[in-house]
Amino acid sequence: MGTKLGFIFSIEALLAAILLFGIFLLTSDISKLDSDYSQNDKILYDYADSTLVVLDKTGALKELFENGNDTKIKNITESLIPSICTQLEIYNYSATPQNLYYSYTSQDCTKSWSTPISSKFSTYVNRTNVSNISVFWVKAVHYAK
């Protein structure tokens, strides 16, 4: 009788070990996929933030607002990493469709819903003199080509 009880405990222990091993494999694959996706999101988010900083520091936004010249914006956008598409939207006062001031998407880009998308908003204040201040919302959207 003692050997049957030991045999049953051995089978239960073996099944429990197989079950734990299966759960471990399942969770390790899921966590790996999640971390890869999070890393891609973080890269695109940081890239969007950097794009807005570059557009501001190079004077590209100021040139657009004061002279209506978007050459610098187009040159900067097209010189970014070729595998990432950039879409810029600039709004007057609030980020609503009726207040869209300017929009540009880098060349050869088609957005699909399967690609990671990152969007970053920033405000830009254009001051030409003490009494003339304009506030704009600048949105940079990035996705893989």
Query: What is the pLDDT, as a whole number, of residue 112?
Result: 61
Q: Is the whole model's pTM more than 0.75, yes or no?
A: no
Query: What is the pLDDT, as a whole number, of residue 111?
Result: 65
Separation in Å, CA 50 to CA 57, 80, 99:
10, 11, 24
Q: Can you say whether residue 28 is alpha, beta or left, with left for phi > 0 and alpha for psi between -120 and 50 degrees?
A: alpha
Query: What is the pLDDT, as a whole number, of residue 133?
Result: 73
H or E segment and range at residue 118: strand 117-129
Query: What is the pLDDT, as a whole number, of residue 76?
Result: 86
Query: What is the pLDDT, as a whole number, of residue 28?
Result: 62
Query: What is the pLDDT, as a whole number, of residue 7?
Result: 61
Q: How many residues would you count in the chain?
A: 145
Query: What is the pLDDT, as a whole number, of residue 125?
Result: 77
Q: Name which of 113, 122, 109 is nearest 54 in CA terms.
A: 122
Decide: 99 and 91 in contact? Cβ < 8 Å.
yes
**pLDDT tens, N- to C-terminus, the chain (145 residues):** 456 655 666 777 778 888 887 777 666 655 554 455 566 666 666 777 788 888 888 888 888 888 889 999 898 888 877 777 888 888 887 667 788 888 888 887 776 655 657 777 777 777 766 676 778 888 888 777 7
Query: What is the pLDDT, as a whole number, of residue 134?
Result: 75
For the chain, what are the domain ranges? 2-144
